[in-house]
Amino acid sequence: MTRRTRTWLLLMPAGTWFLVMLLLPLSVVLVFSFGERAPAGGVVPAFTFEQYANLPARWAAFKNTLTLAPVGTLVSLLIAYPLAYFLAVKVDPKWKTILLVLVIVPFWTSILIRSYAWIFLLGGRGLPALLDWVGIEGVRLINTPFAVLIGIIYGYLPLMVFPIFVSLDRLDKRLLEAAADLGATKWNTFRQITLPLSVPGVATGCLLVFILLMGEFLIPALLGGGKVFFVGNALVDLFLQSRNWAYGSAVAATLVFVMLITVTIYMRLIARLGASRDDVSIM
């Protein structure tokens, strides 16, 4: 067996996977998106841009998604970073594993079940009842955008914590000692050493959370009471309720396209940040 054949053989499983699981379905979505809705639902083949021309009808859903995804990512980051920092740098090593496992534990149960738990927690007999008891009356939490944000942060926090934890855990502690020896304040050390070196983790975490948030539909449906409408919810309705597959495909293709653009811009920004970081380290 030549080296070349071996390479091809080893690439076969991944290649087949990409073809069958990624390219084929995406092609189907693209073909459908140029079709028309059949009278009884579904799709009839055609070549029309009608579905794309109709996209403004889902503008609100795109707007909501493009607001929630960055906000959700940012808030997750702000909560996850101190936690990851604590786990990686501050905590006694003998507790580290246990605490890390605790971060993962929620993943052992389906997000669906956990969201139902939040329905109860945020519902009238949950936290609001507790607040009522301490004198803060009339608080409504469930079925508000705030509830959706809570659900999202709760659901995606581990995805943010882990990459940041890994990058901070690998951080060479001697750099911090050197900085201290050279008279840097704690804040300066963090800003000039810890933070730049954790950028890869932050970038990965943000990307993971952002991409998943762009397609989210379950949490808004459950914790937002169906009143908070994202592209994911629009897609579910188009395919399962009004069965307008052609339009649904156009919305899905547009979502993929929007994601490609945002992720590309994001990668460029991160690359630039990485480059300037190198400059710093050379200095």
Partner 1 sequence: MTKDTISKRKFMEEFRRYQKGSVTRRHFLNVTGLGAAAAVMGTAVPGLKPRPAFAAEDIGDRVILATWPNYHDPDNFDAFTEATGAAVQVNVFGSNEEMLAKLQAGGSGWDVYVPTNYTITTYVSEGLIEPLDTSRLSNYDPTAFDPRYAEAGSVDGQLYAVPKNWGTTGYAVNTSHTGGTTPTSWKEFFDMTMDSFSGRTMVHDYQLTTIGNALKYFGYSFNSVAENELADAEKLLIGAKPHLFAISSDYQPAMRSGDAWMTMCWTGDGKQLNTDIPEIAYVLGVEGGELWSDYYAIPKGAPHMDAAYALINFMLDPEVNAKEVLAHGYPSADAHTNKLLPEELLNDPILYPAADLLNALEFGAAVTLTDPNRAELMARFKSA
Residues between 243 and 262 that touch partner 1 (CB under 8 A): 243-244
The DSSP call for residue 171 is S
Q: With binding defined as CB under 8 A, does residue 64 bind partner 1?
A: yes
Contact 49/34 with Cβ under 8 angstroms?
yes
Nearer Cβ to partner 1 (89/111): 111
The size of the interface with partner 1 (CB under 8 A), counted in residues, is: 36
Burial class (CB in 10 A: 0-12, 13-18, 19+), 183: exposed
CB count in 10 Å sphere of residue 10: 10
Q: With binding defined as CB under 8 A, does residue 106 bind partner 1?
A: no
Q: What is the greatest pairwise CA distance in the chain? A: 77
Burial 253-273 (b: 16+ CB within 10 A, else e): bbbeeebeebeeeeeeebeee
Nearer Cβ to partner 1 (199/258): 258
Among 3, 125, 173, 174, binds partner 1 (CB under 8 A): 125
Residue type, 281: S
Q: With binding defined as CB under 8 A, does residue 229 bind partner 1?
A: yes
Q: With binding defined as CB under 8 A, does residue 123 bind partner 1?
A: yes
- Which parts of 24-144 fold into alpha helices (H)? 24-33, 50-53, 59-85, 93-104, 111-122, 127-133
Q: With binding defined as CB under 8 A, does residue 222 bind partner 1?
A: yes
Among 68, 75, 100, 142, binds partner 1 (CB under 8 A): 142
For partner 1, the binding residues (CB under 8 A) are 37, 39-42, 57-58, 60-61, 64, 110, 112, 119, 123-125, 140, 142-143, 218, 221-222, 225-227, 229, 233-234, 236-238, 240-244
